[in-house]
Amino acid sequence: MLDLEKIGKRIAIKRKELNITQNSLAEQLYVTHQAVSKWENGKSIPSLELLFELTKLFNISIDYLLDDTDIADNDYEKLFKNYPRDIVISKFLRKENFDTEIPNIFYLLNKKERFQIINQILIKSIILDIKYIWPYLNPNERILVLGIILSGKCDYNLSPIYTQLSKAEQIIVQKHINEGTYNYKLPNKHIRS
């Protein structure tokens, strides 16, 4: 059963997020402002064609409008199903608690999206210690990140993640330390066997 009040509230929330008045929305959809008011107050529901237009205008899914369940801010699986990916990722990037949110989203990202997040961390436009993302990186991403750190393009002390490095990665780090091309000293740790 459709919950008209919940649908109306979602229409009102999305309209207000876009700073659109009821009159302006009505004009865009070729309906009266009274019709928009009735939707938002749960007195009626837009036609299927208008629901489709609303989803395009608000950049949301029809499921979001009609489903009677709320989506938690950290339920990225549902968020990706109901919103465009770039909007979900943008919202994630505005959060302050990246370290606790990374496990909830990183595995759902495609290669390009993962690279964008990794790049933003490395250039420090996202303030997140690499140690929080390291466990979620695939081997190619680990090589990329390690290479950027060891080349000096990203100033990072590997001590917090050194024990998480593979034997091969530890050998590479040790080589850079021995050559003097990596400036940080690591605690007396033996290379993993």
Buried b (16+ CB within 10 A) or exposed e, 52-82: ebbbebbebeeebbebeeebeeeebebbbeb
Rg of the chain over all Cα atoms, to the nearest angstrom: 24
191 compared with 8, residue with greater pLDDT: 8
Confidence class for position 3, pLDDT limits 50, 70, 90 = confident
Token pair listed for 130: 């690499």
Domains located in the chain, CATH noted: 4-66 (1.10.260.40), 76-179 (no CATH)
Residue environment code for 140-163, b if the CB has 16+ CB neighbours within 10 A, otherwise e: ebbebbbebbbeeebebbbeebbe
Residues 6+ apart with CB under 8 A from 115: 141
Condensed to tens digits (0 to 9), the pLDDT of residues 112-145 reads 999 999 998 888 888 888 999 999 999 999 999 9
pLDDT digits (tens, 9 = 90+) for 54-69: 988 988 878 778 875 6
Global pTM reads 0.64
